[in-house]
Amino acid sequence: MMNSTKRISRRDFLKLGLAGLGASALTPWHSVFAQDEEWPENMQLARTIAKLDFKSRPSPDSETLDTVYDDAIVVWEKEVIGDPFPMYPTNRRWIQTPKGYLPSMMVQPVRYAPNAPMTELPENDGERGIWAEVTVPYVDFVLENEKPISELLKGNVRYRFYYSQVYWIDDIRTSSDGNVYYRAIEKHGSPGDIFWTPASAFRPIPQEELQPIRPDVADKKVVIDLSRQTLACYEGNTEVRFCRISSGAKYDAYGNPVEKWSTPLGDNHVINRKYVALHMAGGSSASGYELLSVDWTCIFASGGVAIHSTYWHNNYGEPMSHGCVNASPEDAKFVYLWSNPAVPYTEGKIEVSGYDLGTKVQVIEA
C-alpha cells in the first residue's frame, strides 16, 4: 500500500470550515480522511512499518509470496519462532498472517477500536482539554497552520498518527454531515504544528487512569541490562515488572560500528524529567531523527536519554535506538506511572533537579 496523497493547503482547510469559530456546522470533510480499506474490529492486527515480503515459511530464505509497503494492515494470527535475519540474530519471532509470514521486527501490533466522539471537552485543573490515545492502526490528519513547521512534515507524504500515540485534545468541531473532529496538539517539544483529525480514532484518557502506581513505596529502582536487552523494576528486592527493550544501536544503517548511540552505563542515573508525550528530534541531517508524540517518556541521563514508548519498530531484544531505551507502549506506560516523581495530569510533565526525588536507574552490561 503506497501512502502518498495530495497535501491539503491551509486555504483548502479554511474552505472546509474546521478552522471556523464557534460550534456552527461545518462543510463535510470525511473524504479527506477516507480510509484505505475496511479493518475488522477487536482483532489483533499488524501494521507494517517498512517494505516487507510475505514469506512461505518463517525464514528469510523461504519463498516470497507477496510484497507490501508501509502501513499495510493485515490480520495477526499468531507469533511463531523461525529463522532470524543475519543483522538481528536474537530475534527469531515471526508473525503468521493469512497471506504468509512477516518478520516481527518491523510490524507494529495494533487493533481497530473506534470510539464514540466526545461532544464536549472536560475541564481538567482549570484547563479545557484531555489526553487521548490513538486506538486504530493509523489515522490521517491535516494541519491548521499554513505551512508545516516540523521538518518531519515538510516532505510530500501523507500525514498520519499511529496506534498508541497520545495527544492533548483542546477543541472539537462537527461537520454538517455529523462527523466529529478533534484538534490535537503536542504539548511538549513541539515546533508549533496544530492538527485536526477524526475524533473516532481517539480514546480519551481520564485523570484516574494516570494516577501513580504505588507512590508510597520509597525503595524503587529500574535496572536496564544492555547485554540481555531487558528492563526490570524493583521495589526493594522484589521484581515487579520485567520486559524486553531496545537500547542504543551498535551499528548504523550501513553496518558500520557506532559508539555515539550507546546507552550510558552507570549506577547513579535518576529519572528527573517525565512527559506524557514529547516531540523528539536530534542528530544531524544525515543521521538525525524526528518523531511526533513519543509517549510515556522518562528522562534519566544527560543528553535526553530516556525510557519511552515506541511505535516505529517492534524489535525489542535488539539494540535499535540513538541512545534511549525503547519499550512497548504497555511497558513504557507502567514505568511512567510507577516511577517517581509523579506527573500532574493536565501539565503532562514534571522536571525536577537533584538526585533525591526521582527513581534511580542502573544501566549494566556484562
Res 32: pLDDT: 56
- Residue whose C-alpha cell is 550510558: 264
Q: Give the residue-averaged pLDDT of 112-139.
A: 96
| Length of the chain measured in residues | 366
Question: Is residue 207 classed as helix, strand or coil in its secondary structure?
Answer: helix
Give tens-digit pLDDT for 319-333: 999 899 999 999 999
Residue 200 sits at φ, ψ, to 5 deg, of -65, -15
Give 156-160's long-range contacts (Cβ < 8 A, gap of 24+): 156/4, 156/7, 157/3, 157/4, 158/3, 158/4, 158/5, 159/195, 160/3, 160/71
Cα–chain-centroid distance for residue 223? 23
Residue 26 per-residue DSSP state: B
Q: What CA–CA distance (Å, rounded) separates 139 from 161?
A: 5
Question: Is residue 171 classed as helix, strand or coil in its secondary structure?
Answer: strand
- Residue whose C-alpha cell is 544531524: 284
Res 33: pLDDT: 64
Give which of 339, 357, 348, 352 is closest to 125, Cα–Cα.
Answer: 348
Check pLDDT > 50 for residue 165: yes
Low-confidence winner among 70-84, 139-153, 192-206, 251-265 (lowest mean pLDDT): 251-265
Check pLDDT > 90 for residue 300: yes
Give tens-digit pLDDT for 36-86: 678 999 899 999 999 999 999 999 999 999 999 999 999 999 999 999 998
Q: How confident is the model at residue 222 (pLDDT cuts 50, 70, 90)?
A: very high
Give which of 184, 203, 202, 207 is closest to 194, Cα–Cα.
Answer: 184
Low-confidence winner among 17-26, 100-109, 170-179, 206-215 (lowest mean pLDDT): 17-26
Residue 338 sits at φ, ψ, to 5 deg, of -85, -35
Q: How confident is the model at residue 23 (pLDDT cuts 50, 70, 90)?
A: very low
The percentage of the chain sitting over the pLDDT mark of 90, rounded to a whole number, equals 75
Cα–chain-centroid distance for residue 261? 20
Contact 251, 258 (CB under 8 A): yes
Res 218: pLDDT: 87
Low-confidence winner among 144-158, 232-246, 272-286 (lowest mean pLDDT): 272-286
Task: Please give the mean pLDDT across all residues of the chain.
Answer: 89
In terms of DSSP bridges, do strands 220-225 and 202-205 run parallel, antiparallel, or are they unpaired? unpaired
Check pLDDT > 70 for residue 205: yes
Check pLDDT > 50 for residue 29: no
Q: Give the residue-averaged pLDDT of 306-316.
A: 97
Residue 308 annotated to the active site: yes
More confident residue, 86 or 102: 102
Q: Which residues pair with 364 in a beta bridge?
A: 225
User: What would the grid cell of residue 254 be?
Assistant: 550501513
Residue ranges per domain, the chain? Answer: 10-38+113-205, 45-110, 210-364
Residue 324 annotated to the active site: yes
Res 201: pLDDT: 98
Among 188, 308, 313, 322, the active-site one is 308
Q: What CA–CA distance (Å, rounded) separates 248 from 258?
A: 10
Check pLDDT > 70 for residue 14: no
Give 210-364's CATH code, choosing from 3.90.1150.10, 2.40.440.10, 1.10.287.1260, 1.10.3720.10: 2.40.440.10
At the topology level, CATH places domain 45-110 in: SH3 type barrels. (2.30.30)
Res 177: pLDDT: 83
Q: How confident is the model at residue 6 (pLDDT cuts 50, 70, 90)?
A: very low
Res 288: pLDDT: 62
Q: Which residues pair with 139 in a beta bridge?
A: 161
Q: Give the residue-averaged pLDDT of 2-9.
A: 37
Q: How confident is the model at residue 174 (pLDDT cuts 50, 70, 90)?
A: very high
User: What would the grid cell of residue 332 be?
Assistant: 513504557
Q: What CA–CA distance (Å, rounded) separates 273 from 53?
A: 40
Give which of 138, 130, 198 is closest to 163, Cα–Cα.
Answer: 138
Distances from the Cα of 110 to the Cα of 221, 281, 288, 315, 357, angstroms: 30, 25, 27, 15, 35
